[in-house]
A and B are shown apart, each in its own frame.
Chain A
Amino acid sequence: MSKFGLITKGLLKENPTFVLVLGLCPTLATTTSAMNGLEMGLATMFVLILSNIVISLIAPVVPDKVHIPVYIVVIATFVTLLQLLMQAYVPDVYETLGLFIPLIVVNCIVLGRAEAFASKNSVGDSALDGIGIGIGFTLSLTVIGIVREILGSGSIFGWKFIAGDGVLAFVMAPGAFLVLGYLMVLFNKLAKR
Chain B
Amino acid sequence: MAAKSNLTNMALSLTLVCLVCSALLGGIYALTAAPIEQAQQAKTNSSIARVLPAFDSVPELETIEVDGASYTYYRVPGSGYAVISKVVGFGGPLTLMVGIGEDGLVCNTVVLSHSETPGLGAKCQTDASFIDQFKGWDPAARRLAVTKDGGEVDAITASTITSRAYTAAVANAYNVYLKLSENE
Contacts and interface: CB of A to CB of B under 8 A. Distances in A.
A and B touch in the complex (CB under 8 A): yes
Chain A, interface size category, equals 35 or more
A122 to B, nearest CB: 13
Contacts of A89: 35, 39
B1 interface: yes
A84 B6 CA distance: 36
B175 interface: no
Query: Which secondary structure characterizes the binding site on chain B?
Result: helix
Contacts of B2: 59-60, 62-64, 67, 119
Interface in B19-52: 21, 24-25, 28-29, 32, 35-36, 38-40, 43
Interface string B1-14: 11111100110011
A66 B32 contact: no
Query: Which secondary structure characterizes the binding site on chain A?
Result: helix
A73 B36 contact: no
A166 B13 CA distance: 54
Interface string A38-77: 0000000000000000000011111111110110011011
A12 interface: no
Given A63-B3, A87-B36, A77 B13 contact: no
B92 to A, nearest CB: 12
Nearest to B40: A91
B91 to A, nearest CB: 11
A107 interface: no
A129 to B, nearest CB: 17
Contacts of B43: 91
A61 B32 contact: no
20 contacts: A61-B3, A62-B3, A62-B13, A63-B6, A64-B2, A64-B5, A65-B10, A67-B2, A76-B21, A77-B25, A80-B25, A81-B24, A84-B29, A84-B32, A85-B28, A87-B36, A88-B35, A88-B36, A171-B119, A172-B119
The 10 lowest CB-CB distance pairs between A and B, nearest first, are A88-B35, A63-B5, A65-B5, A77-B21, A171-B119, A88-B32, A64-B2, A84-B32, A91-B39, A168-B119
